[in-house]
Amino acid sequence: MKKFTVKTIVLCAMFAALCCATAPVSIPLPGGVPVTLQTAAVFLTALLLGPLYGFVAVLVYVLLGAVGLPVFAGLSGGIGSLVGLSGGFIMSWPFAAALAGFLYYKFGRNEKGLKKYATMIIAMLLGSVIIYTIGLTQFIFLTKMSISASLAACMIPFIPGDVLKMVLVAIIVPTLERALKIIFSTDKAAVNA
């Protein structure tokens, strides 16, 4: 069973802070759901920390916003953000992180080359299914818009950007994995590797 150590708590805090730091990068769209870098931070967290610690780090981020800290898009925060038009997307992030982290840790983390990158992309795509499902469900419930109109407002405009963010995350994850291994290693041999 996984346990929390000082190292894992520090990692969770660092990645929760990363999620917070991406909040100011926000482009509002007419549908009420902005384009942000937060999903990139969520998936980066998931792939680097795995399912449990990724879930915890992103959950901490969501809870920080829920209590009113301005850590969501447009530097917003509070319960109103979670029950608003984009709230379902925000609330889905810990679960998307858990799924993407699980899939990557189980099937791709120890792989090399194309299989590693393909697993990362598939893990993030399936995590995105969770994000879009929960986010669109809440959006449709609040707006009473049709499914097709909701897809046009909250999903289709985001797909190109989401794919680009996934590719960028997949490119930087292997380098960051090596860096984290060196930084947090207690084995001197790993530092010299």
Contact predicate 150/136, CB 8 Å: yes
The pair of three-digit structure tokens given for residue 126, joined into one six-digit string? 């399936």
More confident residue, 171 or 24: 171
* Structure tokens given for 148: 């097709």
pLDDT at 191 over 70: no
Measured distance CA(100)–CA(105) in Å, rounded: 8
What are the residues facing 26 on neighbouring strands?
36
- Given a contact cutoff of 8 angstroms between Cβ atoms, the answer to whether 34 and 7 are in contact is no
**Which helix (H) or strand (E) element contains residue 36?**
strand 35-36
What tokens appear for 51 in the block?
């399912």
Q: What tokens does 179 get?
A: 């860096």
Continuous segment of H or E residues that includes residue 171: helix 159-184
3-state helix, strand, coil in the chain (%, to 5): 75, 5, 20
At 83-107, the pLDDT tens digits run: 999 999 999 999 999 999 999 999 9
Distance CA 117, CA 113 (A): 7
Determine contact, residues 72/81, Cβ cutoff 8 Å.
yes
Residue 173 CA to residue 168 CA, distance in Å, equals 9
For 53, the 3-state DSSP assignment is helix
Which CATH number applies to 6-192? Answer: 1.10.1760.20
What is the per-residue pLDDT across 18-39, written as a single tens digit (0 to 9) for each? 999 998 887 776 666 677 889 9
pTM (2 d.p.):
0.90
pLDDT per residue over 110-139, tens digit each? 999 999 999 999 999 999 999 999 999 999
Mean pLDDT to the nearest integer, 157-162: 89
